[in-house]
Structure 1
Amino acid sequence: MNLKEKIDILVTLDENYLPPLEVMLTSLHVNNPNRQFNIWLLHERIPAEKIEVLSLFVASFGSELLVRKVDNLLIKETVSIHDYPKEMYFRLLCGQFLPETVKRVIYLDPDTLIINSIEDLWSLDLEGNMMAAATHAGLTNISHTINNIRLGTSNVYFNSGIMLIDTDLAREKIQLEAIYEVIEKFEKQLILPDQDVLNYLYGENIKEIPEEIWNYDTRQSLTYFTKSKGTYDARWVLENTVILHFCGKPKPWKQKNLDKFSVLYVHYEQLMKRMKDTQKEIGE
């Protein structure tokens, strides 16, 4: 483990997700205090003044924001089906946008919390695979069968919210035109468009990692508890899970009746606000 080496983190979003991004980055910093990060932001139209605010916030905990603006003509508007933004495809195409010096990157959705060390994911042996990701299998694994029938695939169905990506292999294998072809072929069947595309085209190039550690779906706490025969209770999660993922709706930054994990989210939200207040006081 080389603590002097920065960990490369990838985020792709529009300006609506900047507030939860700051909460996620706060949790990343707090629970990895001896690490510095390169935070790679791929975006299309976030205003420069908001980028500057985010950059100063990231710098306040010793990391660096590195921004790549994607040409709005590069990704066709036709990929924005079901009201999902084009930015979701930037993560699949990150090999095209990141410099060749970046050999691997951890992609993180902004609706996540990092509650323990991320080191083991960063140093994971991909064993020749292009990516590592988790599934959300549920109690019966029936979602895999449904998605296999829907997309004509045979591999398990991976969630694209957290991924370790070998960017050299991504540059070699992931092609924009292939993504367009899948969208045109399956447009009516696509439910989570970029995730469906990921699984259809590249599912066989993904190494599975345990969801209860790396992509814990906070909606499914009872399922995890049941499948583990009572082992994965709240204490186990706080001690062992690394990434909580607030999939679906309502999101914890909007939810009024908070569950146990949403309360934890609000805790990091408050930490983020205090960090920004301190940053402001130092600047005055």
Structure 2
Amino acid sequence: MNRDNLGQNRLTGESINVLVTVDANYIKPLKVLLFSLQQNNRQQAFDIWLLHAGITDEALSALANFVAQLGFTLHVIKVDMTLWDAAPTFKQYPPEMYFRLLCGAYLPATLKRVIYLDPDILVINPIKPLYDLPLTTHMMAAASHMGLTGITQTINHVRLGTKQAYFNSGVMLMDLDKMRARIHLTDILDVITKRGKELILPDQDILNFLYGEEILPLPEEIWNYDTRDNIVHFAKSLGEVDMQWVIKNTVILHFCGRPKPWEKGGMNRYAVLYQHYEQLLYHAFGD
């Protein structure tokens, strides 16, 4: 694969804005995500918006060079973490996980719409239909991982005192103007102060607790396919949603939980596909 040709033959239509929030440990998975995005959206322009707290200038320069070779444009915004000192963080949930909640405040006011993507994702089909989705009165669109019986949803309703579906925050279409008007740091910090010890997935719990009723549901098997649940999807669809269906119809594969497909032992059904993209990336760019 010739890296010089990766970003060529692009259309000149409206660019899709994609938001990512990572620390230095997730730069390599981020590159796999962006590579998969480019490989399966070859005639689509993208602006990649990176919110970070402490990635080095050297690493950012290398990432910008990589993104440019994909034919994308990278915008880097460093977030002041002083206001987030009270937020609960854990090894597997770094401070960057909160940035998506207030991204409207960090991103330029001229930016109206963005797709947020976690770094543990492959994009395997065109993503523009999601970007063009009408949100009507909703502030965001996201998917719920319902499982086979929905018992996890019931547990989250009891735990958080909510009634709507519990949405996964790893893939979200965002109306930034609505978010700027509705989402405030004081509200988020108030939940953290009062209920911080109860938060299992802190930013996702806050998203659902404060804003769940303003989220448009997306079909998970297309827009946020939890790769741990392939048997669940197969059973719920009476055998329709098999691997062939996924390759043809699913847009976003989300490698939720542990181990990740780039880690030793990360061998769920779709880990081999992830490792295939890693290998293609290696042949195109090296380490």
TM tier, shorter chain? Answer: over 0.9
Could you tell me which of 207, 213, 217 is aligned with 1:204? 213
Instruction: Please state whether the residue corresponding to 1:260 is helix, strand or coil.
Output: coil
Aligned residues: 276
Instruction: Please state whether the residue corresponding to 1:106 is helix, strand or coil.
Output: strand
What do you get for the CA RMSD once the two structures are aligned?
A: 1.3
Alignment pair present for 1:112 and 2:121: yes
Deviations 1:228-260 (A, max 9, x none): 000000000000000000000000000346333
Larger deviation: 250-259 or 35-44? 250-259
Separation in 2, partners of 1:70, 1:81: 16
Instruction: Please state whether the residue corresponding to 2:239 is helix, strand or coil.
Output: coil
- Matched letter for residue 233 of structure 1: D
Separation in 2, partners of 1:45, 1:9: 20
What residue in structure 2 maps to residue 272 of structure 1? Answer: 281
Compute the TM-score of the two structures, normalised by the length of structure 2.
Answer: 0.93
- Matched letter for residue 121 of structure 1: L
Could you tell me which of 84, 87, 101 is aligned with 1:79? 87
What residue in structure 1 maps to residue 3 of structure 2? Answer: none
Q: Percent identity among equivalent residues? A: 55
How do 1:58-207 residues align onto structure 2 when only pairs under 5 Å count?
A: 58-76=67-85, 78-83=86-91, 84-207=93-216
Deviations 1:8-47 (A, max 9, x none): 0000010000000000000000000001111000000000
- Matched letter for residue 79 of structure 1: A
Compute the TM-score of the two structures, normalised by the length of structure 1.
Answer: 0.94
Alignment pair present for 1:30 and 2:39: yes
Separation in 2, partners of 1:255, 1:174: 39
Q: 1:3: how far off?
A: 5.2
Separation in 1, partners of 2:175, 2:66: 28
Instruction: Please state whether the residue corresponding to 1:101 is helix, strand or coil.
Output: coil
Gaps of 5+ in 2: 1-10
Instruction: Please state whether the residue corresponding to 1:91 is helix, strand or coil.
Output: helix
Instruction: Please state whether the residue corresponding to 1:35 is helix, strand or coil.
Output: coil
Instruction: Identify if the C-alpha distance between structure 1 residues 53 and 82 changes in structure 2 by more than 3 Å, giving closer, same or farther.
Output: closer
Instruction: Identify if the C-alpha distance between structure 1 residues 217 and 257 changes in structure 2 by more than 3 Å, giving closer, same or farther.
Output: closer
Gaps of 5+ in 1: none
